[in-house]
Amino acid sequence: MTEIQGWTLGFITLTFAIYIIIAWRSRVKETAGFYVADQGIPTVANGAAVAADWMSAASFISMAGLIAFLGSDGSIYLMGWTGGYVLLALLLAPYLRKWGKFTVPEFVGDRYSELVRTIAALCAIIISFTYVVGQMRGGGIVFSRFLKLDINGGVAVAAAIIFIYAVLGGMKGITWTQVAQYSVLIVAYLIPAIAVAQQITDWPIPQVTFGTILDELNAISVQMGLNQYTEAFASRPQIDVFLVTMSLMIGTAGLPHVIIRFYTTRTVRGARYSAFWALLFIALLYTTAPAVGAFTKLNLLRDVQGVAVDALPAWVGNWMATGLITIADDVQTIQSVSNSPTSGADLIVNNDILVLASPEIAGLPAPIVGLVAAGGMAAAMSTAAGLLLVISSSVSHDLYFRRIKRDSTDKQRLLAGRIAMGFAVLVAVYAGINPPAFVAQVVAFAFGLAASTFFPIIVLGIFWKRCNATGAASGMIVGLLFTASYMIYTLPVFGTSAHDHVLDISPEGIGAIGAIMNFVVTMVVSKMTAPPPADVMEMVENIRYPAKTRAVPVSREN
């Protein structure tokens, strides 16, 4: 076992043990604890849990890599995800917390109808499955490189650990585990970033100093046949940059596993303050990611530019063993680098390795390499657990309890939820082994689906009393089918061939168009059909404005 493997195994074993102990001590026997942690999580702790839940493997592992290769255009991920969180915190979260209960489909069901609840539950399951694929893949990459497991085995091990602590503690256990995971992932992200900044610029503030190396990075990039790092719209058309940013933004505000986090606070005021703390915790990583991308790419290009294949640094060989770095056939000296095998590059580097490889590329000590691996696992596991809980709650609470067995006991609903979580893990493992794209791209597809389904009907459900069940059902179905169909059309999934993008719109950006279609269809159909009942309109008023009495929502069959 190498020194890096030893440190990695030590850090991962220690952190996994902490997560399972927390879950065991937080284990629950009632649905309120399993789904919303008894609505008793302190504000700061909930903020840290929200940050960990939201900053997935895509944020930790893949985002800086995408920024490194996309350059200026990589800002779509920073602007979209961060702006979307602000949108969620200010526009939706306080109102949903005031309404209360367990799940997003439950709000949709009370606001519209039981049919719309069922559609929403199915959408939540589809979105969460898509999202969890990226997390499983991220865990597999960590195990593949640092513990010498193949990616398939790494995905399976990561899934098993996530399943154990998610099933034990439900939302309560997941929340306190995510507090620990946030601490691990942010320390693991900042320490190497600070060390590399000090190494390259003699000043340990990466968020500020990375601007000083951009001229050199531009020059080396051009020499190796790449676009200038700071050149706008070099990697993506302008229209796609706008649509992807918009899709990520409104998709963030519609993600069920993030929204339910605000159900766990003690009060509506607590929901607002936990949003503030979460944004602060998120900012620590998101202001660092551009620096990590720039520094790592500079070090990478310095290491390989003009170097003979048999003289490449050791880290290249380490990552080649995972299949995530390849060298073009019959190449003697590296003259160009790319993240795409279609570009004719000599060295093809997968986006997903740059953050994990950054300490090795910079020559940092083995303990830091191991710490980064543990941080990557923490990021993947924290989000995956929240997603599995959404799948579990959608199946057991919104489908099993509401549509199949209304007289089921707490024990029966918890059992149904845990069984659903087990099946979800198996499906996620298969999809994590056979992903359709890079980790951050897979996650972006989930955001697009959330943008085209949940965001419009939640916004209209809160701010437009006239919106009715028929309109909401029509809008969700149109948004989902349009967005999912375009993604399948442009990606090689389900055995299909990939097709060219229509009007330069990527599958990551199509969710914005789907959301617009959802808004339009919902509003038109709502205006053409009967208005909602008076008690529903009163419920909307009571969610938005203080009132001494509140109408009791009733469930209706549609």
DSSP 525-557: HHHHSPPPPHHHHHHHHHHHS--SS-PPP----
In a domain, 50, yes or no: yes
In a domain, 325, yes or no: no
State the Cα–Cα distance between residues 243 and 241, nearest whole angstrom.
6
In a domain, 338, yes or no: no
pLDDT recorded at residue 198: 96
pLDDT recorded at residue 558: 40
Is the pLDDT at 194 greater than 90, yes or no? yes
Is the pLDDT at 368 greater than 80, yes or no? yes
Percent of the chain past pLDDT 90, that is, above it, reads 37
From the list 124, 119, 112, the residue with the least C-alpha distance to 471 is 112
State the Cα–Cα distance between residues 30 and 411, nearest whole angstrom.
7
State the Cα–Cα distance between residues 151 and 133, nearest whole angstrom.
13
From the list 104, 95, 89, 88, the residue with the least C-alpha distance to 544 is 95
**Per-residue confidence at 197, pLDDT binned at 50, 70, 90?**
very high
Can you name the residues that pair with 502 across neighbouring β-strands? 505
**Mind listing the pLDDT tens digit for each residue in 447-458?**
899 999 999 999
Give the total number of structural domains in the chain.
Answer: 1
Provide mean pLDDT across the span 386-397. 79
**Mind listing the pLDDT tens digit for each residue in 503-540?**
999 999 999 999 999 999 999 999 999 999 998 898 88
In a domain, 266, yes or no: yes
In a domain, 550, yes or no: no
CB burial of 509-528 (b: ≥16 within 10 Å; e: otherwise) equals bbbbbbbbbbbebbbebbee
Is the pLDDT at 551 greater than 60, yes or no? no
Is the pLDDT at 167 greater than 80, yes or no? no
Domain of 438? 3-296+364-544
Is the pLDDT at 250 greater than 70, yes or no? yes
CATH number at residue 265: 1.20.1730.10
**Direct distance between the N- and C-terminal alpha carbons of the chain, in angstroms, rounded to an integer:** 62
**Per-residue confidence at 89, pLDDT binned at 50, 70, 90?**
confident
Provide mean pLDDT across the span 540-550. 68
**Per-residue confidence at 252, pLDDT binned at 50, 70, 90?**
confident
In a domain, 9, yes or no: yes
Can you name the residues that pair with 349 across neighbouring β-strands? 325
Structure tokens at 402: 């509401």
In a domain, 308, yes or no: no
pLDDT recorded at residue 35: 58
State the Cα–Cα distance between residues 85 and 62, nearest whole angstrom.
19
Cβ–Cβ < 8 Å for 509, 153: no
pLDDT recorded at residue 469: 96
What length is written for the chain?
Answer: 558
**Per-residue confidence at 102, pLDDT binned at 50, 70, 90?**
low
In a domain, 357, yes or no: no
State the Cα–Cα distance between residues 249 and 444, nearest whole angstrom.
10
Structure tokens at 333: 């000296």
Q: State the Cα angle at 511 between 507 and 514, rounded to 5°.
A: 120
Q: Where are the alpha helices (DSSP H) in 305-396?
A: 314-320, 354-361, 366-393
Q: What is the pTM of this model?
A: 0.85
Cα 149 to Cα 133, 139, 143, 185, 439, distances in angstroms:
19, 11, 6, 22, 19
**Mind listing the pLDDT tens digit for each residue in 44-77?**
888 898 888 778 777 888 889 889 988 989 889 8
